[in-house]
Amino acid sequence: MDPTEWTEIESVCATKPSSYSSPALHAGAARKSRAGSRPAIPLRVLQCLLLLFLCLAGACSPTQGNDLTKMQKARITIKGEVFEVWIARTEAEREKGLMFVTAEQLADTPEGLHRGMLFLFEQQKPLGFWMKNTITALDIAYINTDKTIVKTLTMKPLDESTYPSDRPARYALEVKAQLLKSLHIASGDLVDIPDDVLKETP
């Protein structure tokens, strides 16, 4: 999963809004307040505190995973091995990823195709995934715009540390743990992704 849920908090809270200033600086221009009253708290500060409270309460972390039955699916090929993958195209789909997905849901299809999820990003850049709310161990392959795997990793269930791509990547493939190793898939291998899938990338 792509860990971006704290970005909004940082953007709201990191910088003091230009409209905020200490009441003491404008005491002469302000109307005399009633005795014992306190200066009003700026709206931006209240928004920041509310957002922080909601996130600490768990509201910023998805409580449900993707509805796999409603996600677009495609088939990709690596070294002759065919994968049937769910396409995580939107920010919401990428954020949830394979959260709460069981090992049974990631088992090969009756036709023998390997299941997984392919994450599509708008730009190539260094990527990093974590395993929050992800209950099944996974392999991840980071893939660049040339459709070449630049790094593979195995990720532990529920591990909230970041698994970095180290090099710029545009796509990421998640499958059940140890699958890539068993298929001898590694950095430098090419991934055949249908053009019609990539054309729909924003």
What the chain holds in terms of domains, given with CATH numbers, is 7-56 (no CATH), 68-199 (2.60.120.1140)
What percent of the chain shows pLDDT beyond 90?
67
Sign of the alpha-carbon dihedral angle for 83, 84, 90, 93 = negative
How crowded is residue 7: how many other Cβ atoms within 10 Å of its Cβ? 9
Model-level pTM?
0.71
pLDDT of residue 15: 43
pLDDT at 51 over 60: no
Burial class (CB in 10 A: 0-12, 13-18, 19+), 48: middle
Give the residue from 192, 200, 202, 197 showing the smallest Cα distance to 82. Answer: 192
pLDDT of residue 18: 38
Which pLDDT score, from 0 to 100, does residue 17 have? 37
- Does the CA dihedral 7-8-10-11 come out positive or negative? positive
User: What DSSP letter does each residue of 80-97 carry, written as one string?
Assistant: TEEEEEEEE-SHHHHHHT
Mean pLDDT of the chain: 81
pLDDT of residue 27: 35
| Total residue count of the chain as it appears in this document | 202
